Amino acid sequence: MNNKVITEAKTTTSQNYLIEQKISRKIVVLEITGEETGYTIQSLKGIDYTFSDPAVIVKTYKVNILLRKIRNDGTIISDENKGYFNVTRDSWYYLGTQKQANKKIIHNDILLNREFIPDTYERNQYTAYWIPNFPRAQIQRVSRKFFDSDGLNAFKLTRFGSSELPAKPLRTDKTIDGKLIDEPRKISNIATEVLIHIGGTYSLLGYEWLGGSYGCFCFIPELNIYSTIEKAKLACIHDDYDDHISNSDWKKICDNILKISFPNKLKIEIHLKEKKGETYVPEEILEE
């Protein structure tokens, strides 16, 4: 999607108006901030329970939807806020054995945060590649079946047309048994398939799923964000967390982004800011 030269500078003189057209343009920016907005529940990857989903508590962060006017050299002229939403940034993976998981043993040595962190925050701007049918499209690649669009979207982070992103290496790519983790990186300092996609409790193919990831940013509805760790824990214990399904909220967010971008063929960029606070390390395994 190419950027379209802007034409709104109608209060300037004719000469300045033409100059403004030539030297500036608009883009849509999804700005993933370091601003913490609360706590939520996330699927804990690497283990399975028979009758429930293993889960942990994580922080949520604000994402601004900006209509940005920039000069051709990248200098920002102005930002117009078009809304916001919340995502998780952490992606916890269990390195211990299933036996340890069944006993709910948890400590730093058997937890791996697969969060995507750029190799340097000086290179923190990405072009968004729109995926119109995710995660169903992912299932389709496995099953080779055709599914109607479910209205769920995702936005993949890319650089120069590639999904390979320079990243801070993970602490390890092996479990305590020496086995490779699921979907390990092929190159330790290169992350791939990093997306903003649906999270929380969402519906897909007639089933409800608890969102999690191997290094993506998961959308969380405001109704599933809690002001304290204890409130998030109680929502899980009392089985309240899955009362609100994420699908309709995420669809509204995506529709808003595309409504801003598509009519004028505006490029969508994703800008990732550094976290402002410490990462919360889960202290227990919950069941959702």
- What would the DSSP string read from start to end of the chain? -PPPBP---TTS-HHHHHHHHHHEEEEEEEEEEEEEEEEEEEE-BT---SSS-EEEEEEEEEEEEEEEEEETTS-EEEEEEEEEEEEE---EEE-S-HHHHHTT---GGGEEE----BS-TTS-EEEEEEESSTTHHHHHHHH-------S--EEEEEBTTBS-EEBPPPS-SB-TTSPBPSS--SSTTEE---EEEE-SEEEETTEEEE---SS-EEEE-GGG-BSSHHHHHHHHHTT-GGGS-SHHHHHHHHHHHHHHHTTTT--EEEEEPPPSSPPPPP-S-EE-
Q: What is the largest CA-CA distance in the chain?
A: 74
Give the span between the Cα atoms of 224 and 264, in whole angstroms.
Answer: 34
Give the span between the Cα atoms of 202 and 244, in whole angstroms.
Answer: 9
Amino acid letter for position 280:
Y
Q: Which stretches of the chain drop beneath a pLDDT of 50?
A: 1-13, 17-18, 137, 139-148
Tokens found for residue 166: 């320079």
Q: Map out the domains of the chain as residue ranges.
A: 14-287
Residue-level pLDDT at 133: 80
Dihedral sign for Cα atoms in the order 240, 243, 247, 249: negative
- On the question of a cis peptide bond just before residue 135, with omega within 30 degrees of 0, the verdict is yes
Tokens found for residue 82: 């078009």
CB 35 within 8 A of CB 62: yes
Task: Give pTM, 2 decimals.
Answer: 0.88
Quickly tell me which residue has 């929380």 as its tokens. Answer: 200
Give the span between the Cα atoms of 10 and 37, in whole angstroms.
Answer: 39
Amino acid letter for position 239:
D
Name the residue among 120, 119, 101 with its Cα closest to residue 110.
101
Quickly tell me which residue has 């608009």 as its tokens. Answer: 26
Question: How do residues 67-108 score in pLDDT, each as one tens digit?
Answer: 999 998 889 999 999 999 999 999 999 999 999 999 999 999
CB 168 within 8 A of CB 189: yes
Residue-level pLDDT at 150: 58
Residue-level pLDDT at 138: 52
Phi-psi region of 161 (alpha: psi -120 to 50; beta: other; left: phi over 0): left
Question: How do residues 171-184 score in pLDDT, each as one tens digit?
Answer: 999 999 999 999 99
